[in-house]
Amino acid sequence: MTVNTGPILDYRGKPVPDQSKHSGIIPYDVGRADLQQCADALMRLRAEYLFSQQRYDAIGFHFVGGQYYAWKDYCKGLRPVAKGNGIRWAQGAEQPKDHASLRAYLDLVYTYASTISLARELKPAGGFAIGTVIIHAGSPGHCFIIIDERTDAAGRRQYRLAEGYTPAQSIYVLRNPSGAANDPWCTLTAGTIRTASYVFYKYELKKFE
């Protein structure tokens, strides 16, 4: 996964106040609205991966209300529209299966999904490994994903972690809160997890299909 240097920017293009929590930036756009937050960032990473593999029909996510919305249905013109406390489906213009269409689709997903729907959607994970999502579902909740791992000189497993945050901002690689500046390698153990941005007292270990 490509990681760049630079500041974390919010959806308005302004640096966020806390620039000490990251060791690098994953170069996906944030968008121009306050949408791509923590759960959304993980859905973005998943969607971009499937897109890069041309697994277009596998791109789809659930809303908090339980509805499943696939990118292929967006491309066919199906659109969610808010109705009271729920949604209704409307027919819009068909769209090509290109990256611009994917981004427009994801902004709709972000509107109706959250850590609650993502936690329901993900499958149980057996432990810490590449692809494991550490998630606390709630309003607010939080989550991050393991994107890389290694064994250090002492034989300890260490991990690189990626997340998004609120307000919508760059997807970034977390730094090790107890390591040197810009050190991305974190140690994870069962029990309370303290990252550079959040303390997880309760969480689940999950993974995408």
pLDDT given for residue 55 in this prediction: 98
Q: Are residues 116 and 156 in the same domain?
A: no
Split at pLDDT 50, 70, 90, the class of 1 is confident
DSSP state for residue 201 in the 8-state scheme? S
166 and 113 in a common domain: no
**Which sign, positive or negative, has the C-alpha torsion 91, 92, 96, 97?**
negative
| 195: amino acid identity, one letter | T
For 11-24, the pLDDT digits (tens) are 999 999 999 999 99
91, 120, 149 — which closes off a domain? 120
In which band, very low, low, confident or very high, does the pLDDT at 166 lie, cut at 50, 70 and 90? very high
Within-domain flag for 36: yes
Are residues 128 and 103 both part of a single domain? no
CA distance 199 to 175: 14
Rounded Cα distance, 134 and 203, in Å = 6
- Number of domains comprising the chain: 2
How many contiguous H segments (helices) and E segments (strands) does the chain have? 4, 13
**Local confidence band at 180 (pLDDT 50, 70, 90 cut-offs):** confident
Tokens 């153990």, located at residue = 189
Is there a single domain that holds both residue 54 and residue 86? Answer: yes
160 is in which domain, residue-wise?
A: 122-207
> Is residue 78 classed as helix, strand or coil in its secondary structure?
strand
Instruction: Outline where 30-151 has alpha helix (H).
Output: 38-52, 71-75, 99-112, 115-121
pTM of structure: 0.96
- Please indicate, yes or no, whether residues 113 and 36 belong to a single structural domain of this protein: yes
Are 97 and 139 contained in the same domain? no
Residues, the chain, total?
209
Q: Within this chain, do residues 167 and 193 fall inside the same structural domain, yes or no?
A: yes
CA 41 from centre of chain: 3
Contact 3, 24 (CB under 8 A): yes
